[in-house]
Amino acid sequence: MSINTIPEEVKNVILKGEAIGKSGKSRKIIGGSTINNLLTIQGIMDKNKPAKTMEIGMAYGISTLLFALKHKSANEKPNQQHYTIDPFQISHWDSCGLELLKKSGLSDYMNFSEAFSSAQLPKWADQGVKFDLIYIDGSHLFEDVFIDYYYCAQLLNEKGIMLFDDCRDPHVLKVVRFIKNNMGDFFEEVNLNQYAERKGAELLKYKIASKLDKIQLRGFIKKSITTNRNWDSKLGEF
């Protein structure tokens, strides 16, 4: 995997290592989307051509920029194809992500909500909004990740993909295990290497880490329209 395959606009932000907020102040980028995550998202966008995408957690806007660029490169006219939620984008992050999209001329590809996902996702569900690719990278508390999963399961189109970042975190991993052990009729884990294209020693390391639950990014494909289990379904250990 190589950073050189990522769009120049995204690569430049990563290499520069700083983000500029609306106040004009610069802040060092710490904990932004990893190269692995970006390459995987790029691979899904290139191969699956999702019409509408969404992410929870914006921060510096690096992944948001990639989503917008990929929608643009698919010769799509800007129509808010990418939805993003971040309750702290303006207050804490000084609008770094919004400013990045604005400076790149891609704001019209984005639908931004300054809200907690627990409040915004149900609204979209009521409105019948659907997505083909969802990237969950907001709060990592178990209860928050589970709520994100619950509503995103409804918002995801059949054959759509739901990605979870930071799966080595015990809170996030707990949700991943719930899905694997209880929602097998509706979701199947995706081999994300088909999008990141690891090879040789790097692939072997990834396979071992996957078996040990030590990989950062995991994804699930939705196999059916509904995700409703029978009322008397047994609860699998997770």
Alpha helices per DSSP H over 74-116 = 96-103
Q: Which fold has domain 27-222?
A: Rossmann fold (3.40.50)
- Six-digit token pair at 99? 């400013």
Backbone angles phi, psi at 189, to 5 degrees: -65, 140
Predicted local distance difference test score (pLDDT) of residue 3: 80
Predicted local distance difference test score (pLDDT) of residue 12: 94
Alpha carbons 226 and 204: distance in angstroms, whole number: 35
Predicted local distance difference test score (pLDDT) of residue 1: 56
Rounded to whole angstroms, what are the CA distances from 133 to 2, 82, 84, 169?
Answer: 23, 10, 12, 22
The DSSP 8-state label assigned to residue 164 in this structure reads E
Predicted local distance difference test score (pLDDT) of residue 212: 87
Strand partners, 156: 131
Query: Is residue 131 within 8 Å of 50, Cβ to Cβ?
Result: yes
In the predicted model, residues of the chain with pLDDT beneath 50 are none
Question: What pTM, to 2 d.p., does this model score?
Answer: 0.95
Predicted local distance difference test score (pLDDT) of residue 203: 86
Query: Is residue 89 within 8 Å of 95, Cβ to Cβ?
Result: yes
